[in-house]
Amino acid sequence: QVQLVESGGGLVQPGGSLRLSCAGSGFTLEYYAIGWFRQAPGKEREGVSCITSSDGSTYYADSVKGRFTISRDNAKNTVYLQMNSLQPEDTAVYYCAAHSSWDPICSFNTFEYDYWGQGTQVTVSS
Is 101's pLDDT higher than 90?
Answer: no
The Cβ of residue 67 has, within 10 Å, a number of other Cβ atoms equal to 15
DSSP letters spanning 39-86: E-TTS--EEEEEE-SSS--EEE-TTTTTTEEEEEEGGGTEEEEEE-S-
The pLDDT score that the predictor gives to residue 69 is 98
- pLDDT grade for 5, boundaries at 50, 70 and 90: very high
Give the integer Cα–Cα distance in Å for 126 and 123: 10
The pLDDT score that the predictor gives to residue 11 is 98
- pLDDT grade for 119, boundaries at 50, 70 and 90: very high
- pLDDT grade for 113, boundaries at 50, 70 and 90: very high
Give 6: exposed, middle or buried? Use CB within 10 Å, 0-12, 13-18, 19+: buried
Rounded to an integer, what is the distance from CA 45 to the centroid of its chain? Answer: 12
Summarised one tens digit per residue, pLDDT across range 45-92 is 999 999 999 899 999 999 999 999 999 999 999 999 999 999 999 999
Summarised one tens digit per residue, pLDDT across range 11-50 is 999 999 999 999 999 999 999 999 999 999 999 999 999 9
